Structure 1
Amino acid sequence: MKISIITINYNDAVGLERTIKSVQDQHTVPFEHLIIDGGSTDGSNEVIAKNSNYFSFTISEPDRGVYDAMNKGIKNATGDYLLFLNSGDVLFDSEVIEKVTPHLRSAHDLIYGDLYMVATDRPSFTHTYPTSLDFTFFKHTSLGHPSTFIKRELFNVHGFYRTDLKIVADWAFFLKVICIEKATYKKIDVTISRFYEGGISTAAATAQLNKDEINKVLLENFNLYETSYNQLIEENKNRALVYDKLHPQIGLLTTNKMLLRILNGFIMILSTLLKAKRSL
């Protein structure tokens, strides 16, 4: 199994050099490293030039945003699995590819591990992902693209990243292939990357755009059970308030896990019906 590591960069020469070094330090081959630069003017091209022997593909030209650049990487990758390690982020240690490679032989559509979050305004921490993924998970968060190995074939079958979304196209892709298309996945007990907060998807200034784009995707694809989900959550909150008043000594949970499981089953049935309808 061959891995393609795709790095997107724009005017971040220091971060790019850090990312490149973490890839070069890996003990295991085969993998390829692609650099997709958005026409940087800060010295990034000099960093690329001096490391050019390590790359299978490089390009430096203006693009239409992060996801347009990521799509360029996908189109030029030759690996069986793709990992997006964008400029500034690094592989967690020199043995990551070695640890992951045996799991790729399972042929799951997605193989994901944990992500070490390097924060600027709070203690850094490891983001541990669950072994089971469903609509409830994606309603609140997403997989990290620096910690997820994606089978190249998924993009051929289900389409590339949406370029009309500026922040959440990777989330929208995961939501689509897992919750609608039923892509197979496997969680592995490996911390894959160090993700440095402060990019466009984590900046406070873009919080409203992030929310708007998520709502757009949900309304386009999950309008019926998005409404049902919100109603269920609200009903459970109200029910919990009543229970707490009746039994203040009992710290009852504010969500009903059984009902949420039923809702997720309902979502799976609906997605199957929608998929069947589209194929007609």
Structure 2
Amino acid sequence: MLVSIITVNYNDKSGLERTVESVQNQNFANFEHVIIDGGSTDGSKEFIEANKTGFSYWVSELDKGIYAAMNKGIKMAKGEYLFFLNSGDDFIESDSLSNIATHLAGEDIVYFNINQIQEGEVKLKKTPETLSFSYLHHDLPPHQSTFIKKKLFDEYGYYDEELKIVSDWKFIIKALIKHNATYKYVDGVFTNFYHGGISTNPEGRKIMEKERELVLDEEFPILMNDLKDKFKLERVIRGLRKSKKIQLLVKLGLINKF
């Protein structure tokens, strides 16, 4: 079984160097590495050319955004499973792939936990063993810890290039809910995700929420008629839980934790 690792980069030479080094240090042999660069001008292209013997395919040219770049990678990939490890993210150790390869054994989607790193602080993000529409409504297993069979893209289409942030989420939720793709959760962690992308800043979060709402209304209109009020209340509750005033009242024993 061949695994295709797809790395998308644009003007992040230092991040690309970290990712490539991490991939090339893997002691698992049955993988290919596809590099899609968006016409970087920071030396990324020269770095790619200097290391091209380690890539099954690479290109450096202008594109229409991250999902257009990811789609290029999908088209060129030859593996049974595709894995997106974008510029800056890396494997935890050299035997990460060899340790988890046995879990890639039939399911359409296989996902793990992930380390989230911000300003040097490492936090483990655990994903649920059983996926639900309620969970997928506002989250998804991170693509940096998720393997997807290439046949899903061949059968259901590639990433929606009209979306700026949530196209990978749209693909996963459609594959699972509309097409009943099979999945498996593995309670382990093998990759690091470094905060700093568009989806992790406040403006990006607003775009994400707007795009998710648009996708849900287009793809699941009848279901959303029933669930919109429920999800609104859940968002209010999540906001209250994060409120410092509410946390203080709980600490003082004036209200119960909820």
Structure 2 residue aligned with 1:205? 203
1:230 shift after superposition? 2.8
Structure 2 residue aligned with 1:217? 215
Question: Could you say if the C-alpha distance between residues 157 and 234 of structure 1 is closer, same or farther in structure 2, counting changes exceeding 3 Å?
Answer: closer
CA distance in 1, matches of 2:229, 2:32: 47
Structure 2 residue aligned with 1:63? 63
3-state SS in 2 of match to 1:99 = helix
Structure 2 residue aligned with 1:21? 21
CA distance in 2, matches of 1:233, 1:12: 37
Question: Could you say if the C-alpha distance between residues 180 and 252 of structure 1 is closer, same or farther in structure 2, counting changes exceeding 3 Å?
Answer: farther
Q: Could you tell me which amino acid in structure 1 is paired with residue 175 of structure 2?
A: V
Q: Could you tell me which amino acid in structure 2 is paired with residue 145 of structure 1?
A: H
CA distance in 2, matches of 1:45, 1:249: 59
Superposed structure 1 runs of 4+ greater than 3 Å apart: 232-238, 248-253
Q: Could you tell me which amino acid in structure 2 is paired with residue 52 of structure 1?
A: K
CA distance in 1, matches of 2:223, 2:146: 27
CA distance in 2, matches of 1:11, 1:252: 46
CA distance in 1, matches of 2:216, 2:46: 42
Structure 1 residue aligned with 2:109? 110
Question: Could you say if the C-alpha distance between residues 55 and 235 of structure 1 is closer, same or farther in structure 2, counting changes exceeding 3 Å?
Answer: closer
Contact 1:34 1:73 in 2 (8 A): yes
Structure 1 residue aligned with 2:242? none
Give matches, 1:1-280, under 5 Å.
Answer: 1-105=1-105, 107-120=106-119, 123-232=121-230
Q: Percent identity?
A: 43
CA distance in 1, matches of 2:96, 2:150: 19
Q: CA RMSD in A?
A: 2.1
3-state SS in 2 of match to 1:201 = helix
Gaps of 5+ in 2: 237-252
3-state SS in 2 of match to 1:146 = helix
CA distance in 2, matches of 1:7, 1:28: 17
CA distance in 1, matches of 2:68, 2:25: 28
Contact 2:113 2:125 in 1 (8 A): yes
1:192 shift after superposition? 2.7
1:115 shift after superposition? 0.9
1:222 shift after superposition? 1.6
Question: Could you say if the C-alpha distance between residues 19 and 236 of structure 1 is closer, same or farther in structure 2, counting changes exceeding 3 Å?
Answer: closer
1:212 shift after superposition? 1.0
TM-score (norm 1): 0.81
Aligned length: 242
CA distance in 1, matches of 2:97, 2:122: 23
Q: Which has the larger radius of gyration?
A: 1
Structure 2 residue aligned with 1:241? none
3-state SS in 2 of match to 1:155 = helix
Contact 1:99 1:190 in 2 (8 A): no
CA distance in 2, matches of 1:128, 1:26: 24
Question: Could you say if the C-alpha distance between residues 252 and 104 of structure 1 is closer, same or farther in structure 2, counting changes exceeding 3 Å?
Answer: same
Gaps of 5+ in 1: 239-247, 254-280
Question: Could you say if the C-alpha distance between residues 249 and 18 of structure 1 is closer, same or farther in structure 2, counting changes exceeding 3 Å?
Answer: closer
CA distance in 1, matches of 2:32, 2:232: 48
Structure 1 residue aligned with 2:250? none
TM-score (norm 2): 0.88
3-state SS in 1 of match to 2:160 = coil
CA distance in 2, matches of 1:235, 1:76: 44
1:234 shift after superposition? 6.4
